[in-house]
Chains A and B, each alone.
Chain A
C-alpha cells in the first residue's frame, strides 16, 4: 500500500518509543524464603519439592526433597510438622498438608525403588559417626554424597536409634524404617552394630578417621522418687516400648497408669491399650493446654480410649493402687500441690518423664563442655574439640527426629568444609515470604485433605499403622494447595497484567524477565503476583 503520509502508519512502530525512561522504580524478580522452608528443622526446600509434585513429577519432587532429608517416608509419619504450623495458607483456610505429601513421596520412592544418586567423586576422607539414629544416618548420607567414606557405629542390634526403640510401630512401621535406612546404607556406608564407643577421640584415632560425629541420642529414662510398696509394678516407658520392638512384651495388667505428659507418655498409654490394658490412664500434672504432647497425638490417644487425669501427680504407688495428689496451677502456670488426694486403680505404673543422655564417650576428650546433660557446640555443631562434632538429642535444642536429621545434614556439610579447611560462614538467608506479600485472591479456595485414619476400634487391638497415606489424587490436590510463597509459580500473571507488555515470558520452567526498555514502573506486576516473587526497587538516577 502506498499509504498516505502521517495519517496512516505502519503497525507496531511505537516499539521505537522506549517508555522505560518514565520509570522511577523497577520491578525485580526475587526468590523469597517460604515460611515452611524457614520453619523446617531439617531445612527442607518444602516449596521446592511441592512445586515439582504439583506438576505430578513425583520423582523430581522426591529428588529435590532428598537433597536435604533422606528419609521422607519416615518424616511423613513421625515429624511434628512445624512447617505446617507456619504455613501461610493457614491464614487463608488451612495449612497445606505438607507432611502428608512428603509421606506420599517417600512411600512412592520406596514402592518404585528410586535410588539415591551416588557421590560424584571420592574425597578420600574418612568420617566416624557414632549412633545410627536419625542424626547419625542423616549425617552419614550427606557425608557420603559429598564423597567421604563413612562408618557408623551403634551399640544396638539394629540401626534407627529412637525411631526403632521408641516410636511405636503403629506410627512408624518397621519395614518403612528399615527400607529408608537400607537405602542410605546402599550408598556404600559401613555400619557396625552392637559396638559401643566408650571414647570417641580414641575410636576416631584408632580407626584413622579424619573427623567424628557424636549422635548418641538420649537413651536414659528420667527417674522419679515415688514412694512405693514392695509389690508395686513400676517401669519406664522406654523399656516398655523397646520390649514391644524386641517381641517380648512386658506384662502390665488390665489397668495401666502412665505418668508424664509428653508424646512418650501417650505412646506408652496407646501401646498399653494394644497390649491388652482395658484402662490406660495418663496422669499429668498440668492441664491439656500445657501438655507438651502434640494435640493430634492426644486426639488419637483419646479416640483409642486412653484416659487422662489432669492436674494430678503420683504421690504413692502400691500394688493395684496409686495415690494421686490433685494439683492447681499458680499464676505462673506452675503446678502446686493442693493436699487433696484420690486413688486410682492401676496394676502397673509406667514412667514417661523424659530422657537423659549418656555422654560417657566424651568424658576423657579434651575441650568438650557438657552443660545440663547436653554437649555444647558452636552454631556449626563442632564441639570444643576440633574435628569432633555433635548433633541430635545430645546437643541443646528440640528433641525430635526432624531436628536430628537437620543436625545431621548441618554437621555433615560443616565436616565437609572443615575437612577442606574452609572457614565456617553462615549461609545468607533470603527475605521471608510473609503472608502480607501474597496476593491471595488468586488462589483457589480448597480445604485440606484429611488423611484417612484407621477405625479407632481396630487401632486398639493392633499395631497396624494408624494414619494412612494419601492416594495420588489426594496428594496432588494437597500439593497444589501450596501457595508457592515467594517463589515464582509461573502463573503468567505478571506477563498478563503489564499494560506495557514489558514482561517477557521465557517459556516453561524459565520464568520471566522484565523488558526495561518499556517497563514504566507502575508496579502492577508486583501487586498482582500471587506469591510475592517480584519486588520494586528504586531506580538509581
Chain B
C-alpha cells in the first residue's frame, strides 16, 4: 500500500520487516531518523526479540554488528560520512570475516570542511572495502534494496551497504509502497549463518593468515563478490514476484532506446535526470539514462550492454577523487565501448542542488560535443579564478563547465 512517508521512516520499516536481531548505531546526520525509528520499535516491543544497542561510536557500532553477526544474528547498522570513516577498520573487518551485515549509508559529504549535506564521498571512500554497494535512486528503491540486501548478504556471506542520499532521500516525504510482512517473510528466510560462535561446535573465527594463504583468501572473497552480479538479478526477480513490484537489478535503464547520449548516474539525481531527459527528448535530443544500482561489484557487462548504442556518454559523480575526477566515471570508462567519448561531471558536492535546469544545460552542451572530459556542474568560476590567482601556478587551471 502506497503511503506518503519520510524516506527514513520507510527504510526503517523495510529493515524492521527483515526482522533484524541486533540493531546498533551511533547518531550522525542524516542517518538519525532511521535508527531512531528502529530504536523506538525495539523499545516498544514491536520488533522483539531484536536488540537495539546504543554505542559510543561508529567503530563500536560496526564492531557490535560484527559480534552480533558472528554470534549468528541478523545484524543491521546505519551511518554516514565521518561515521563511516570512523568505522572504516571494522568495515573491512566485517567483509574480511564474511559477515553478512547490512548497513545503510545515508550519504553525506566528508569534512573538512565539515558539511552535513549530501554527496557520495563517504560510500566512495569505502567502495573497495569488500562490501556490496547498492545505490538507491529513490525511496521506493531504498525500501526494496534494503530487503534484497539482506537476502544477497546472507546468500553470499558478504556484507552489503545500501547507499541512500542524505536529506534528498532520507528526509524526503514521498509516496512509498512498503511491502507487507508476509511477502517479505516469503522472500527472506530466517538467517542461517555460514559460521557462528557456538560452544556446541566451537571454531576459531578470525585467524591470522600469512603470505602462504592470504592471496587465496582474497581470491575467494573476490569470487564471492563477483557472484553478486549473477545473483542480484535473480534476487530482484524473486523480490518482484514476492511483492508484486519490480525494483533492483544491477542497472536501471531509462529511455535508452535509440539514445545517442547516455547519462550514467546513481542515487537520487536519477529522478531529476529523468525529468531533464524527458524534456530533452521532447526537444528532439536523443538522450537516455542509466542508473547504476549495484556499484560494487561493478556490473561492467551490464553497463557495457546498456552503452552499446551510445555515441557519447556522460557520467555524473556526486563525489570527487580529488585531483582525479569522478569515481563512477572511471568505472564507466572501463565498461564503455572503446572510442566512445566520455564526459565526467562532478555535481552536487556537499549538498549543492542538482537542478533540472543545470542538468539540461550540461547535457545540451554534451550533445553538442562541447563538454570537456571533466566538467563541474554549477561551479562558481569567478570565485575560483579569483582564488586561483593567488596560488602559485596562477590561473592556468582549467575550470568551469566548459573546461576541457
Contact between chain A and chain B defined by CB under 8 Å: yes
A7→B202 contact, CB < 8 A: no
**Per-position 1/0 for B185-214, Cβ under 8 A of A:** 000000000111000011111110100010
Is A6's CB under 8 angstroms from B207's CB? yes
What are 8 residue pairs bridging A and B, where the CB atoms are less than 8 Å apart in the complex?
A1-B203, A4-B157, A6-B207, A7-B98, A7-B205, A7-B209, A7-B217, A10-B204
Indicate whether A6 sits within 8 Å of B216 (C-beta atoms), given known contacts A1-B194, A1-B195: yes
Q: Is B220 an interface residue (CB 8 A)?
A: yes
A10 to B202, CA, bound (A): 8
Give A336 Cβ to nearest chain B Cβ, in Å. 85
Residues of A within 8 A of B96 (CB): 7
Q: Are B203 and A10 in contact (CB under 8 A)?
A: yes
Contacts of B213 in A (CB 8 A): 5-6
A168-181 contact mask (Cβ, 8 Å, vs B): 1 or 0: 00000000000000
A11/B203 in contact, CB under 8 A: yes
B204-241 vs A, CB cutoff 8 Å, 1 = contact: the mask equals: 11110100010011001000000000000000000000
The 4 lowest CB-CB distance pairs between A and B, nearest first, are: A9-B204, A6-B213, A6-B209, A11-B202
- Closest Cβ of chain B: how far from A14's Cβ, in Å? 10
Determine whether B88 belongs to the interface, using a CB cutoff of 8 Å to chain A. Answer: no
List the B side residues contacting A10 at CB < 8 Å. Answer: 203-204
Q: A10-B203, A11-B202, A11-B204 are in contact. Are A5 and B195 (CB under 8 A)?
A: no
Bound-complex Cα distance A5 to B201 (A): 17
Residues of B within 8 A of A (CB): 96-98, 157, 194-196, 201-207, 209, 213, 216-217, 220
A6, B217: Cβ atoms closer than 8 Å: yes
* Interface residue A444 (Cβ < 8 Å from any Cβ of B): no
Cβ-defined partner of A3 (8 Å) among B203, B209, B216: B203
Closest residue to B204 on the A side, CB-wise?
A9
Evaluate contact between A8 and B216: CB separation under 8 angstroms. no
A231 interface contact, C-beta 8 A? no
Q: Are A2 and B207 in contact (CB under 8 A)?
A: no
Main secondary structure of the interface of A (DSSP, over half): loop
User: A1-B194, A1-B195, A3-B195 are contacts. A8–B203 as well, Cβ < 8 Å?
Assistant: yes
Is B217 a contact partner of A5 (Cβ separation < 8 A)? yes
Chain A residues within 8 Å of B195, by CB: 1-4, 8
What is the interface of chain A, defined by CB distance below 8 A to chain B?
1-11
Task: Give complex CA distance A150, B112 in Å.
Answer: 107
Chain B residue numbers with a CB within 8 Å of A6 are: 207, 209, 213, 216-217
Closest to A10 in B: B203
What is the CA–CA distance of A8 and B96 in the complex, to the nearest angstrom?
11
Q: List chain B residues, Cβ under 8 A from A11.
A: 202-204
Q: How far is the CB of B29 from chain A (nearest CB, A)?
A: 35
Collect the chain A residues with CB atoms within 8 Å of residue B207's CB.
Answer: 6-9
- Could you tell me if A8 and B217 are in contact, using CB atoms closer than 8 angstroms? no
Taking CB as reference atom, which chain B residue is nearest A5?
A: B220
- Cβ of B209: which chain A residues have Cβ within 8 Å of it? 6-7
Which of A3, A6, A10 has the most CB atoms of chain B within a 10 A radius of its CB?
A: A6
Q: How far is the CA of A267 from the CA of B209 in the complex (A)?
A: 83
* B-chain residues with CB within 8 Å of residue A9 when the two chains form the complex: 203-204, 207
- Cβ of B202 and Cβ of A4 under 8 Å apart? no
| Distance between B93 CB and nearest chain A CB, rounded to angstroms | 11
Whole-angstrom distance between the Cβ of B204 and the nearest chain A Cβ: 4
Cα A8 to Cα B213 with chains together (Å): 13
Report the separation of the CA atoms of residues A305 and B151 in the bound assembly, to the nearest whole angstrom.
Answer: 101
Chain B nearest CB, measured from A11 CB (Å): 5
Residue of A nearest to B198 (CB): A1
Q: Apart from A6-B217, A8-B195, list 18 A-B contacts with CB within 8 A.
A: A2-B194, A3-B194, A3-B203, A5-B216, A5-B220, A6-B209, A6-B213, A7-B96, A7-B98, A7-B206, A7-B209, A7-B217, A8-B203, A8-B205, A8-B206, A10-B203, A10-B204, A11-B203
Using CB atoms, name the residue of chain A closest to B217: A6
**Which chain B residue shows the least CB distance to A14?**
B204
Interchain CA distance A2-B204 in the complex, whole Å: 13
Report yes or no: B204 in contact with A4, Cβ–Cβ below 8 A: no
How many angstroms between the C-alpha atoms of A8 and B70 in the bound complex? 11
Q: Which residue of A lies closest to B214 (CB)?
A: A6
Q: How far is the CB of B225 from chain A (nearest CB, A)?
A: 14
Q: Closest CB of chain B to A43's CB: distance in Å? A: 55
A7 near B216 (CB under 8 angstroms)?
A: no
Q: How far does the alpha carbon of A294 sit from the alpha carbon of B195 in the complex, in Å?
A: 78
In Å, the complex CA distance between A3 and B97 comes to 11
Which A residue's beta carbon lies closest to that of B98? A4
CB contacts (< 8 Å) of B202 on chain A: these are: 11
Q: How far, in whole Å, are A7 and B195 apart by their CA atoms in the complex?
A: 11
| A7-B97, A7-B98, A8-B195 as given contacts; A1 in contact with B217, CB under 8 Å | no
Q: Is the CB–CB distance between A4 and B194 below 8 Å? A: yes
Min distance, Cβ B47 to any Cβ of chain A, angstroms: 28
A2 to B, closest residue via Cβ: B194
Name the distance in Å between B153's Cβ and chain A's nearest Cβ.
15
User: How many angstroms between the C-alpha atoms of A5 and B219 in the bound complex?
Assistant: 11
